[in-house]
Chain A
Amino acid sequence: MTRRMIIIRILAVLAVLTGVNYVTWRWLESVNWEAWWIAVPLIVAETFSLIDTFLFAATMWKSKEREGPKSAPEGTVDVLITTYNEPIEMVMKTASAAQKITYPHQTWILDDGNRSEMADAAKQAGIGYITRSQDWKNKPRHAKAGNLNNALFQTDGEFLLILDADQVPDPLILHRTLGYFADDPKVALVQTPQWFVNVDEADPLGSQAPLFYGPIQQGKDGWNAAFFCGSNAVLRRDALMQLGIVGYVHDVQESTRRTLRAAEKLLGREAKRHRDVPELSEELRQLHALTADALADFRRGEPAAEVVYRVQEAAKAASRRLLENDLATMYADLESLGHVPVQRDEVLGAVVIDQASLDALTAQEHSPLGAVESVMALLEQLRVDRPDEAQPVQPLATISITEDMATAMQLHSMGWRSVYHHEILARGLAPEDLNTMLKQRLRWAQGTLQVMLRDNPLVKKGLSAGQRLMYFGTMWSYLAGFAALAYMAAPILYLMLGVMPVNAWSVEFFARFLPYFLINQVLFIYVARGMRTWRGQQYSLALFPLWIKACWTTFANVVLGKPLGFVVTRKDGKAEGGVPWREIWPQLTVMVLLVISLIIGVTRVMLGTLDGTGTLINTVWVIYILIALSVIIQAARYRGPAAALENPEGDSWISK
C-alpha cells in the first residue's frame, strides 16, 4: 500500500469515528426537545451528513490509480457520435476528429434529429450515418439509450466508443483504452474523464468536476464500480447485448405469466356468462382449459415461446370456427340488439367490421361478439416480440432518463467489470449559462433517483457490498437538499428569535464537533490534492431547491406515474434567455433572510438578549452559508467564458 493510501485510510477511519462520537452525543445529550420542530430536523440533517461522510470514506478506502492497460489494443471498433439537435458544424468537428483516431475503426453519426443536412455532411466526409429504423414508428423512443440501441443493430464492431456530439476525441483514445478489454475478458466498460474547454479559471457554473473525474471515480473503481457517464467511454458489445437478451427474457417471462393468468380468468368468466349460447360457451370452455394447462406448463418451466404459440394457435382456430360455423347464430343475436356492425363486403367477400358500433356492442354485457372480441384482444397481448417496444432486445437500459448509470449497474450485477482510466482523451463543451446548467443538473439528479426507486442498488441481485455502497452513495448525495433546509433554518431561527436547537453552546459541543469537522476537511483536502473543489462544495449546498425538486418530481414520476418533462441539454452552451429567476428565488430569499438575521443577531447581543457564544457560532455558520450561496449570483451574472482561455489543454488537474 502506498503512503498516500495509508494516510487516506487513517483519516477516513478518524473522520467516521469522530463523526459517530459527535452525532451520538448530539442525539443522546444535546437535542433541545422543547424546540423539537427545529431541533429534530437539524439532528436528522447532521445524521444525514455523517452517513455522507461514511460513504465518502468508503469510496476513498480502495482508491485505484491505474497505470494504463498492459495488453496491446485489439478488436474491431465502432465510434458512435450521438446527436439530436446540435449544430451540424459542431457534430462534424467531433466526427472529423473521430475519423482521425489512429486505431482502425469505423465512425458513425447517430442523428436522432434525422436531419438531411446532417446526412449530407456525413456522406461528404465519408462518415457513416444512422437514423432510427422503421421499427421505431409510434414506439417509445427512449432518448439517447434508444438512439444507441438502434445503432447497435446496424453496426458490428466488438467495441463501441461512445461520444456526445461536443466531445472531440484525442487520436490516441482507443490505443490508450482498448488494452483493458484484452487484459481482462470480463471488462465491459472503460470510462475516461469529461473535460470542458469552454470553462475559464473561475468556472462559476462549476462545470469541471475534478473531484468526480478523479478521486471519486478512482475510489469507485477500487470497488469495481467505476460509473459509466454516457460519453468518452468504450463498451464491449457482447456485454451490452447480453444485457439486452437478459432484459428481453425477463420481460417476456413477466408478460407471459401476467397475460396467461388474466386470460385464464377472463375465459372462465366468459364461458359461464354465455351458457345460453352453447357453441360459444363450448369454445370458451375449451380455450379456458387449454390456457390453464399452458399456465401450469409455463410455471413448470416450459419455454415461453412454445407455450404462447400453442395458445395462440388454439385461439386462432377457435375464432375461425366461431366466425365460420356460428356466424348465423351471432347474426341473429346481433340483430336482436338492433344493429349489425359486421357485414360481408360484397367485393372482397370478407367480413368487415364497423369499429364504432363494435365498441358500443362490446360494452354490452351479454354480447357474444363482445366476449370473443375481448378474449381475442387479451390473447393478442400474448406475444414474445415485445410489441410495445421498437426492438425486442434493448442493450442500453431504458428505465431511467440517464441511461448510463442504469446500464453500468446492470452490467455490474451480471458480473462484468469496469475500469476508470484517468487521462483526458476527449474535450467537450459545458453549458455556458445558469439556465442550461440547471436543466442539466436536474436531469442528472432525476435520472439517478429514478434508478434508485426502480432498481434499488441496496437490494439488487448480483452486486457486491462495495458496489451497493458506491451506487447508493451517489443517490444518497441527492437528498442533500432536505438537509440544507435544516442547516439554513436553524441559524436564522436562533439569531432572529433565539430558538435553541441544542441544549447549550457548551465546551463539550466544541470538543466533539471540532475534531469531526476538522478531520473531515483535512481528508477532503488531502484527497483533492489541491484541485479546485470549492465550486462543487458551494453547489452541493447552493442547488438545494433543485435537489428537492428532483426528489419530488422523480417520486411523482416513478410512484405516481406523472411525466418528468424530459429536457435535452444543449451542447453548444448557448444561452436560452436571461436570468432564470423562477429557479433561483429560493436561494436569493434565503440569502436576504440570512443577512437580516445577522443584523438582528448582532443587535440582540449588544442589547444583551442573546448569548455571545451562540451568536458567534451561528454568525460563522451564516457567513459560510452566505459565501456558499453567493455562487448563484456569480452564476446568474455569468455570460460565457473569458475570451482567452488560459489553459485549454486542461492538464492542470491531471496527476500525471
Chain B
Amino acid sequence: MDLKVNTMRNYAVIAPQGRLTAVGAPSLRKALNHLLEQGNVRIVVDLSETAFIDSSGLGALIGGLKAARLAQGDLRIAAPTPAVSSVLKLTNLDKVLRAYPSAETAYHGG
C-alpha cells in the first residue's frame, strides 16, 4: 500500500492506494498522526484508489477519527470504491462515518 498526502488550504487529504490491511494500517496511523502534529486537524481520507480494506484498516480510520477530534479537528472519508463500501456496510461503520462523494466536497458544509 502507498500513501499519497496532499495539504490543501483548509484541509489535508490522505489517499491510501492499494490494499489497506493490518500491514498498511500502522503507516496510515503514522501519517495521520504526523498531519495532526503539524496542525492539519481537518483531514479527508480519500478512498478512491483503495482497492480493498479490512477490519484493521477500519480500525486505523477510527483511531484517526479519535485523534483528530481530540485535536479539535475532524476526519472524514471520501469516494470509497465498491469493495470498501461493502466492508463499511458489513461492519455498520457507515452508521458512524459518512462517505462523501469526493475529497473536495468533504468539508463544504463546514
CB distance from A297 to the nearest CB of B (A): 11
Interface size bracket, B side: 20 to 34
The one of A156, A241, A301 in contact with B58, judged by C-beta atoms closer than 8 angstroms, is: A241
The one of B56, B66, B94 in contact with A385, judged by C-beta atoms closer than 8 angstroms, is: B66
Q: A246-B92, A249-B93, A305-B96 are in contact. List 5 more A-B contacts (CB 8 A).
A: A241-B56, A249-B91, A304-B95, A305-B74, A393-B63
Neighbouring B residues of A304 by C-beta, 8 Å? 95-96
B86 at the interface (CB under 8 A from A): no
The one of A249, A253, A309, A393 in contact with B74, judged by C-beta atoms closer than 8 angstroms, is: A309
Neighbouring B residues of A246 by C-beta, 8 Å? 91-92
Interface residues of A in 382-409 (CB under 8 A from B): 383-386, 392-393
By the criterion CB–CB under 8 Å, are A303 and B97 in contact? yes
Query: Which of B2-10, B20-28, B32-40 contacts its partner?
Result: B20-28
Neighbouring A residues of B62 by C-beta, 8 Å? 245, 248, 392-393
CB distance from A393 to the nearest CB of B (A): 5
Interface residues of A in 243-275 (CB under 8 A from B): 244-246, 248-250, 252-253
Neighbouring B residues of A383 by C-beta, 8 Å? 69
By the criterion CB–CB under 8 Å, are A156 and B25 in contact? yes
By the criterion CB–CB under 8 Å, are A244 and B94 in contact? no
Neighbouring B residues of A248 by C-beta, 8 Å? 62, 96
Interface size bracket, A side: 20 to 34
A–B pairs, 23, beta carbons within 8 Å: A153-B59, A153-B63, A157-B22, A237-B56, A238-B22, A238-B55, A240-B55, A242-B55, A244-B55, A245-B93, A248-B96, A249-B93, A303-B95, A303-B97, A304-B95, A305-B65, A306-B98, A384-B65, A385-B65, A385-B66, A392-B65, A392-B66, A393-B63
By the criterion CB–CB under 8 Å, are B55 and A305 in contact? no
Closest 3 CB pairs of A and B: A241-B55, A385-B66, A303-B98
Given contacts A245-B62, A246-B91, A305-B65, contact A384 B25 (CB under 8 A): no
B49 at the interface (CB under 8 A from A): no
Interface residues of B in 43-94 (CB under 8 A from A): 54-56, 58-59, 62-63, 65-66, 69-70, 74, 90-94
CA–CA, A103 and B26, complex, Å: 24
Residue of A at shortest CB range from B56?
A: A241
Neighbouring B residues of A313 by C-beta, 8 Å? 110
Residue of B at shortest CB range from A391?
A: B63
CA–CA, A250 and B96, complex, Å: 9
CA–CA, A289 and B25, complex, Å: 40
By the criterion CB–CB under 8 Å, are B95 and A156 in contact? no
Given contacts A238-B54, A253-B95, contact A244 B59 (CB under 8 A): yes
CB distance from B77 to the nearest CB of A (A): 10
A158 at the interface (CB under 8 A from B): yes
By the criterion CB–CB under 8 Å, are A245 and B65 in contact? no
CB distance from B82 to the nearest CB of A (A): 19
Residue of B at shortest CB range from A243?
A: B55
The one of A238, A249, A301 in contact with B56, judged by C-beta atoms closer than 8 angstroms, is: A238
Neighbouring B residues of A249 by C-beta, 8 Å? 91-93, 95-96
Residue of A at shortest CB range from B55?
A: A241
Neighbouring B residues of A386 by C-beta, 8 Å? 66
Neighbouring B residues of A392 by C-beta, 8 Å? 62-63, 65-66
By the criterion CB–CB under 8 Å, are A301 and B23 in contact? no
Given contacts A252-B96, A309-B74, contact A385 B59 (CB under 8 A): no
Residues of A that sit less than 8 Å from B by CB? 153, 156-158, 237-242, 244-246, 248-250, 252-253, 301-306, 309, 313, 383-386, 392-393
Neighbouring B residues of A157 by C-beta, 8 Å? 22
Q: Helix, strand, loop or mixed for chain B's interface?
A: helix
CB distance from B97 to the nearest CB of A (A): 5
CA–CA, A305 and B110, complex, Å: 14
Neighbouring A residues of B70 by C-beta, 8 Å? 385
Residue of B at shortest CB range from A240?
A: B55
Neighbouring B residues of A305 by C-beta, 8 Å? 65, 74, 96-98
Neighbouring A residues of B110 by C-beta, 8 Å? 313
Neighbouring B residues of A384 by C-beta, 8 Å? 65-66, 69, 96
CA–CA, A306 and B110, complex, Å: 11
Find the residue from B63, B69, B96 having the highest chain A CB count within 10 A.
B96
CA–CA, A385 and B58, complex, Å: 14
Residue of B at shortest CB range from A306?
A: B98
By the criterion CB–CB under 8 Å, are B91 and A301 in contact? no
Find the residue from B25, B59, B74, B92 having the highest chain A CB count within 10 A.
B59
CA–CA, A302 and B96, complex, Å: 8
Residue of A at shortest CB range from B67?
A: A385
Neighbouring A residues of B96 by C-beta, 8 Å? 248-249, 252-253, 303-305, 384
By the criterion CB–CB under 8 Å, are A242 and B91 in contact? yes
CA–CA, A385 and B64, complex, Å: 10
Neighbouring A residues of B59 by C-beta, 8 Å? 153, 241, 244-245, 393
Neighbouring B residues of A244 by C-beta, 8 Å? 55, 59
Neighbouring B residues of A303 by C-beta, 8 Å? 94-98
Neighbouring A residues of B69 by C-beta, 8 Å? 383-385
CA–CA, A313 and B42, complex, Å: 14
Neighbouring A residues of B26 by C-beta, 8 Å? 156
CB distance from B33 to the nearest CB of A (A): 13
Neighbouring A residues of B66 by C-beta, 8 Å? 384-386, 392
Find the residue from B22, B74, B92 having the highest chain A CB count within 10 A.
B22
Residue of B at shortest CB range from A155?
A: B22
CB distance from A98 to the nearest CB of B (A): 20
Find the residue from B63, B70, B91 having the highest chain A CB count within 10 A.
B91
Residue of B at shortest CB range from A253?
A: B95
CB distance from B20 to the nearest CB of A (A): 12
Residue of A at shortest CB range from B26?
A: A156
CA–CA, A241 and B59, complex, Å: 7
CA–CA, A304 and B95, complex, Å: 6
CA–CA, A384 and B65, complex, Å: 8
Residue of B at shortest CB range from A78?
A: B22
CA–CA, A392 and B70, complex, Å: 13
By the criterion CB–CB under 8 Å, are B22 and A301 in contact? no
CA–CA, A28 and B104, complex, Å: 76
CA–CA, A633 and B92, complex, Å: 55
Neighbouring B residues of A240 by C-beta, 8 Å? 55
CB distance from B110 to the nearest CB of A (A): 7
CA–CA, A304 and B93, complex, Å: 10
CB distance from A533 to the nearest CB of B (A): 40
Neighbouring A residues of B22 by C-beta, 8 Å? 156-158, 237-238, 241
Neighbouring A residues of B63 by C-beta, 8 Å? 153, 392-393
